[in-house]
Amino acid sequence: MKKIFLFGSLNADLTIRAPYIPQAGETLKGSDFMLTAGGKGANQAYACANLGGDIRMAGCVGNDPFGDMLVKSLQGAGADTSCVRRTRRNTGVAVITVVDGDNRIILDEGANGEATLSDVEALLADASAGDIFITQLENPLSVVEGALALAKRKGLFTLFNPAPARAEARCCVGYADLITPNESELRILSGKDGVEEGCRELIKMGAGAVLATLGKEGSLYWNGTEKTNIGIVDAGKAVDTTAAGDTFCGALAVRLAEGASPLEAARFASLCSGIAVTRRGAQISIPTRAEAEEMQKKLSR
C-alpha cells in the first residue's frame, strides 16, 4: 500500500439541530447539541485511518482544549499527527446547523490560517513518488497551491478537494491528478452551469481527471475520454450530511493507495459516504473498514 499524506484544516464542530433556519433577530429552539472533532482536513485524515490507510497529516491547532481533542481523535483512529503544529492562535471552529439532514456551516479558521509551506515540506520530507497527497481549501490559498505544486514535483498522486470553493482557487486546478468538486464547487471553479460542461472545463484547465459528487445523483467521473456515472449507496435514512464529502475523499484515497482504479475507488467511496450520512456528527459518523466491508456484503446479497 502507498502512503497517504494530507495537508488540511482541523476544527472543533459545534453542531445543533433546528426545525428551520432562523430569520434575522429570531431566537429559535434547537436540540441535540454536539461538540465533536472535525475540519475537512482532519475528517479526511480520520477517514483514511479508520478505513485502513497509512496516513500522516499536517495542519495547525491552538494550545487549547479543542486542539487537544482534535489531535487525540486522529491519534485514536491511527493517524500520524507528528506534523500537526500548535500555534498561539485559537483552534478553528465550525458552527453547524442541521435542518432536515442538511447542514449550514459558519467557520472561524483560527489556527488553520497559520499553516505555512514549511508545514507541507515537513510533511512530505520522506514521501515517495506514487504516494497519495490530499488537500482542501480551508487553509491559506497560497499555501494550498504551493503544497499541490510541491507534491506534484515529488511525483505524488495529487487529490484535490476544492472545498469550500472560490474562483481564486482556479490556480490550483492544474496541479490536480484528480479533483473532487461537488456541484456548486464545480460551477464556481469552472464558470460553467452544466455538470459535464464544468468537468470538461476543469480538464482544459489542467486537471488529470474530475470526480464530481452530485448528492442524490451519485457522482460523475470524467478524464477527458472516459465518462462514467456512479450511483449512491443507500445504507439507510440520511440524518446528517456533515462529513459525507470528507468520508468520500478519505475512502477514495485509501483505495487508490491500495492500487484500485479511480472507478473502483469511487464506488467504495460512495459506499462509505452512504454509511456516514446515516449517523450524526463528523468524525464519529465515519465507518471503519470492517463496517464498510460488512455493508458491502449485505448489499451484494
Report helix, strand or coil for 158.
strand
109/102 Cα distance (integer angstroms): 22
3/206 Cα distance (integer angstroms): 25
103/14 Cα distance (integer angstroms): 12
Q: What does residue 39 show for φ and ψ, rounded to 5 degrees?
A: 95, 135
Q: Within 10 A of 297 (CB to CB), how many other CB atoms are there?
A: 9
301/283 Cα distance (integer angstroms): 29
- Closest C-alpha among 140, 66, 102 to residue 245: 102
Report helix, strand or coil for 84.
strand
Task: Identify whether 164 is preceded by a cis peptide bond (ω within 30 of 0).
Answer: yes
DSSP 97-138: EEETTEEEEEEE-GGGGG--HHHHHHHTTT--TT-EEEE-SS
Residue 29 cell numbers, joined: 429552539
Active site residues: 246
DSSP 199-263: HHHHHHTT-S-EEEE-GGG-EEEE-SS-EEEE-----S-----TTHHHHHHHHHHHHHHTT--HH
